[in-house]
Amino acid sequence: MDVLNKNTFTEFLLSQGVLKFGDFTLKDGSKSPFFLDFGALATGGAFRQVGSFFNQLIEEKVGFDKIDFLHGPPYKAVMLAGACALTWNDKDMPCLFSRKEAKQHGEGGNFFGHQPKPGEGYVLVDDVMSSGGTKVQALEMLKEYKCLAVVVGVDRQHADGGVTAAERFTEETGVPVYSVIKLKSLCLSLDGLIEASKYQAMKEFCGL
């Protein structure tokens, strides 16, 4: 994805309130001057836009013709996978969704939506790449099928020992991780778009 589109994605995140600034505590207990909340997307227009950003990357890195279905793990990725399917131009793309806990009534089970056949290939769509733990769990739940790639909106570039979580995930699973934008690129593209104090805090957090 070219620089122009990455900058447009940054502006989209700001305009939709996805990128928030403040004093946030992350899942691992660390502090952050910003937070990415894709749950702020709330209109059909926003869904179409985010789906278009993701689909451009999916076509570039994977290819539509190789994909049998999209998977959106709970919770926010359910919306993202649906948005991608709705904005797909050349294929009526199936989606498979999962629950955090198996449903004990009605149709029951861990999944709903598409009913894939063993061996089908899919792309896992999610909002951000942080530690990668939830992605590993998702792959384990769908081990009968082939994950072609993980595609996220933002790679937070969380690193341990000089290796990012995305790199480690790929090393351990063999599944590539692609992002619309990486955190450091996102930070640099904010220059002139936000208050200087917020920009400086972002740069310090990103080690820039």
Give the total number of structural domains in the chain. 1
**In the predicted structure, residue 20 carries a pLDDT above the cut 60:** yes
- Tell me which residue has tokens 């699973």: 173
Q: What is the mean pLDDT of residues 29-57?
A: 94
Per-residue pLDDT of 127-158, as tens digits, reads: 999 888 889 999 999 999 999 999 999 999 98
Q: Across all residues in the chain, what is the average pLDDT?
A: 90
CATH number at residue 168: 3.40.50.2020
pTM here is: 0.92
**In the predicted structure, residue 4 carries a pLDDT above the cut 70:** no
Q: Where are the alpha helices (DSSP H) in the chain?
A: 3-15, 44-61, 76-86, 133-141, 165-173, 183-189, 196-206
In total, the chain counts a number of residues equal to: 208
The residues assigned a catalytic role are 103, 105
Distance CA 90, CA 99 (A): 28
pLDDT of amino acid 72:
92
Which residues constitute the domain of residue 58?
3-206
